[in-house]
Amino acid sequence: MPKEIITSASSPTTGFTDKSTPSPLAQGIKWGQMLFVSGQGPLNPETKEVVSDDIQVQTRQTLTNLQGVLAAAGATFANVVNMRVCLRDTADFPKFNEAFAEFMQGEKVTRTCIGGTPHRKGVNVEIDCIAMFD
């Protein structure tokens, strides 16, 4: 079975620090009943600029961008089974988690959250996910 490339016009495609360079990545790939969504960050889909310094604003934008890719594949957060989160500063975790919980509105997923350095200056959170279909 071939993989299906998923593209959302409402979410940015990233992959390079230089926003003018075409990305070698797919926003998502559907393989059978599984959907793998590339890491999304707090970028405005039109300008590809970081939306804010505030971790809660960044978290909401990152999840909105993920939601756009999920929607392009016919999925929602109800289909998501796993998320991986990278925070530039682990001290942001409480505020990140608060915004995450508010955005997810009770939807449960498994999640790993680590500290690290996202590839682009100003990006303080990056999230990818795996979703399943019936």
Quickly count: other Cβ atoms within 10 Å of residue 85's Cβ.
22
28 or 18: whose pLDDT is higher? 28
What's the predicted TM-score (pTM) here? 0.94
- Give the DSSP letter string of 53-66: S-HHHHHHHHHHHH
Distance of CA 94 to the CA centre of its chain: 19
How would residue 18 be classed by pLDDT, with cut points 50, 70 and 90?
A: low
Mean pLDDT, the chain, as a whole number?
Answer: 93
Quickly count: other Cβ atoms within 10 Å of residue 34's Cβ.
14
Q: Which of 55, 45, 70 is nearest to 126 (CA)?
A: 55
22 pLDDT more than 70 = yes
Q: What is the pLDDT of residue 80?
A: 98
115 pLDDT more than 90 = yes
Average pLDDT over residues 40-46: 93
Q: What is the pLDDT of residue 16?
A: 57
Spell out the domain ranges in the chain: 4-11+26-132
How would residue 17 be classed by pLDDT, with cut points 50, 70 and 90?
A: low
The helix-helix angle for 93-104 and 55-72 (nearest 10°) equals 40
How would residue 21 be classed by pLDDT, with cut points 50, 70 and 90?
A: confident
Which CATH number describes the domain made up of 4-11+26-132?
3.30.1330.40
